Structures are given as C-alpha cells and as structure tokens.
Homo-oligomer: A and B are copies of this chain.
Amino acid sequence: MHPAMPHTLDTLDTPAAIVCLPRMQHNIARMQQQAERLGVRLRPHAKTTKCAEVVAAQQAAGASGITVSTLKEAEQFFAQGVTDILYAVGMAPHRLPQALALRQRGCALKILTDSVTGAQAIVDFGRAHAHAFDVLVEIDTDGHRSGITPDDAALLDVGRLLHEGGMRLAGVLTHAGSSYELDTPHALAALAEQERAGCVHAAQRLRAAGLPCPVVSVGSTPTALAAESLEGVTELRAGVYVFFDLVMHNVGVCRTDEIALSVLTTVIGHQADKGWAIVDAGWMAMSRDRGTARQAQDYGYGQVCALDGTPMPGWRMSSANQEHGIVSHSAAPGAQNAPIDVAAALPIGTRLRILPNHACATGAQFPQYHALAEDGAVQAWHRFHGW
C-alpha cells in the first residue's frame, strides 16, 4: 500500500482496536440527553478511553469537565486544555505535591477522601503550602468499595476537619459500582434511587451541620441510564457508556449494535477437527477480562462479528493465549446441523471483528484506537498508558 493512502479495515495491521464513530456519537448523545432530562451536568469518566479525541467529542456534545482515575490522566487532559477535572480515587498523601502542582498551573483539580486520616493529611499538606484544596467526601451507597456510609458519624468528622482546616469542602460523591452485577430494569432503577438518595442524604447531613456541600455527584453507566429522578444531585458521572460492551449488554443498558469498540483480527490457522479458527487477537488484545462469565450470557473472550460489524450468531472467541484467540461455533444444544467446516467458513486471511467483554480493559491493551467513520475511512487516535 502507498504510505500516503489512508487505512481501511482491509489494510490495517491486526489486531487493532476499532471505534465505530457513528455508534460512539450515538452513545454520547444518549447519555448527554439523559443528563439534560434529569437536570444535572454530565462529567464523563475519561478512564474508559484515555483519549483526547473521545473526550473532545464528549465536551462538544455538552459535557462539562471530566472525571479521572489517575493523576496521569489529569496531567494529560489538562495539557490538552481540559481544566475542570475530578480525581475520583481516594487521595494518597504522597500524591499531594503532584496535585498541588497541577492546581498551581491552573488546573481546577478536585480531590477525594473518605477518612479522617486522609482528610488530616490533606489539611496538613494544604496548610503547610498555604493552599486550599477542593475536596469531595466519598460516600458508600452500595457497599461495593470505598466511601463513608451516609449515616456514619465519620462523615461530619471528615467534613468539619476539611472545612475548619481551611480546605474547600466541595461536596459529596458516590459510585454505585455494584450496578454491574444487576440485569433487570427494576433492579437498576432501584439501585439508581439508592445511589441518589444516599448521596443526597449525606449532603443534607453536612449542610444541616452548617458545612458547605455544593456538589452532589453520582453515577455509574447502568445507574445513570436507569435513573428516573436525580433530585438533589448536581452532576452525573459515567465512563463505559461511550463505547459500551458485552457486560453492559448483559446488564441490559445497550444493544450489541450500540457497542462502539471492537477488535479487528485475522484468521491465521485452523484445527478443523475441533471446529477452531485461530486468530491473531489473543488475551493481549482482548484483555483477560471475563466479565460475562458471571452473567446470564457468557461470551467467552468476545462475540465474533463480520468485518462490517454484523454479529455472527453462535461464533465466539472461546479461548485465548497471549497472541492467539480460538474462535469456535457453539451450535444450539440438540441442533441437527451438519458440523461446520471452519476452514471453509473462515479461511486463512479472513478479517473479523470481536466485541469485547469490557471496553475499559480491552482499550487499555492498545496504544491507539482506530476511529472508523461512516465512509470507511480510518484514523489513528492515540491513547495513553500507565501511571
């Protein structure tokens, strides 16, 4: 191929992480409309993509500010012009100098804590540097990870310590990540309400104690889409919605034809007796995420699609080594079909696209995405890696 000729799905080297732009734009618009309908601002979580072009598309659609999971993400997006950044992982004391440096360079970085010890470290460091950090208190509304439960006495202790210590108590934040374990609209709506009510209750306790609490921040992709009311909430956070994946499909918040990320791969061999096609995307490309194994429909390492993105019913990546994937067909139990001639169905050189279990994990395996436009043109988008 001529070096100046733009790539297509037929010429890209494999494996490659393909982002279907029309689907991505559809997903961005859907979540933005949901936030607007519910009367809250949308602060997308950039950890899913770690990609400037994706975040730019989210901001262009109306999102305000971003959420990040590492200070490297904060550094990278600030360098690209995003200033309103929420670092939504509990602040480790040794990272306070890096956070201060970002703020002193003009980044409106907000940080998070969920303990008296953590708050004290922020206060001590802030005072020592004559700096008032913007700090949110993490609230635990579903028991799945970090945070202070809304009724815990520690909430007021942390709030007072920050406020009286000269920091800006910016609000409360929660993430009902257990939503990934649900799969009915009723259960999702109930958890969304639990997430909202718990976080609003925590805010009300702080305010009743005479403390400021301007921000009430909630969200996970499933609860964000299932929420019927966000009364009392000021902002919504969500990450994986921008691409979706098979786990989200099983949770029930997207169709497979809304999944915007797929891995382009090439058939490199067969084991005809076993009905296996061997492809050049293994777990290094798909990631080791087997999130659908615990769900109603187990997709192995991914759903196999034709090059145009159409799912091929029954074809999955059933197993994976580092750079080898095993693609096989699972006929319905009791089916009377003739055995599939896999070498005839998927000859060597055939290109396939694999929908991933978990877009955050699969994306992280690639230094770049390849954004696929409606007209078939492909453009490389850098994503960053590491800490």
A contact set with B: CB distance below 8 Å: 13-16, 47, 69-70, 89-95, 114-115, 117-118, 121, 140, 145-146, 177, 266, 268-271, 278, 280, 283-285, 287-290, 321-324, 326, 343, 347-349, 358, 360-361, 364-368, 385-387
Majority secondary structure, A binding face: loop
CB atoms of A89 and B146 under 8 A apart: no
Q: Which B residues are CB-close (under 8 A) to A321?
A: 145, 177
Known: A278-B146, A290-B288, A387-B13. A360 touches B93 (CB 8 A): no
Instruction: Please list 23 pairs of residues, one from A and one from B, whose beta carbons are closer than 8 Å in the complex, sorted by A's number.
Output: A13-B94, A69-B284, A70-B323, A89-B280, A89-B323, A89-B324, A90-B268, A90-B269, A93-B348, A115-B348, A118-B268, A140-B271, A145-B278, A145-B321, A145-B324, A146-B271, A283-B289, A288-B288, A288-B289, A290-B290, A366-B386, A367-B385, A367-B386
Q: Which B residues are CB-close (under 8 A) to A14?
A: 92, 94, 387
CB atoms of B69 and A269 under 8 A apart: no
CB of A325 to closest CB in B, whole Å? 10
Cα–Cα, bound, A353→B387 (Å) = 16
CB of A19 to closest CB in B, whole Å? 15
Cα–Cα, bound, A285→B69 (Å) = 12
Q: Which residue in chain B gives the minimum CB-CB distance to A368?
A: B386
Q: Which B residues are CB-close (under 8 A) to A117?
A: 343, 347-348
Q: Which 7 A-B pairs have the closest CB atoms?
A: A367-B386, A288-B288, A288-B289, A90-B268, A69-B323, A90-B269, A92-B268
Q: Which B residues are CB-close (under 8 A) to A90?
A: 268-269, 278
CB atoms of A288 and B361 under 8 A apart: yes
Q: Which B residues are CB-close (under 8 A) to A284?
A: 69, 364
Cα–Cα, bound, A146→B273 (Å) = 12
Copies of the protein in its oligomer: 2
CB atoms of B364 and A365 under 8 A apart: yes
Q: Which residue in chain B gives the minimum CB-CB distance to A140?
A: B271
CB of A374 to closest CB in B, whole Å? 25
CB atoms of B118 and A269 under 8 A apart: yes
CB atoms of B146 and A280 under 8 A apart: no
Cα–Cα, bound, A150→B385 (Å) = 42
Q: Which B residues are CB-close (under 8 A) to A114?
A: 269
Q: Which B residues are CB-close (under 8 A) to A268?
A: 89-92, 118
CB atoms of A146 and B13 under 8 A apart: no
Cα–Cα, bound, A120→B56 (Å) = 47
Q: Which B residues are CB-close (under 8 A) to A285?
A: 387
Known: A93-B349, A266-B94. A360 touches B322 (CB 8 A): yes
CB atoms of A322 and B115 under 8 A apart: no
Cα–Cα, bound, A285→B386 (Å) = 8
Q: Which B residues are CB-close (under 8 A) to A366?
A: 386
CB atoms of A269 and B115 under 8 A apart: yes
Q: Which B residues are CB-close (under 8 A) to A93?
A: 348-349
CB of A75 to closest CB in B, whole Å? 12
Q: Which B residues are CB-close (under 8 A) to A115?
A: 269-270, 348
Cα–Cα, bound, A146→B269 (Å) = 7
CB atoms of B348 and A118 under 8 A apart: yes
Cα–Cα, bound, A114→B348 (Å) = 11
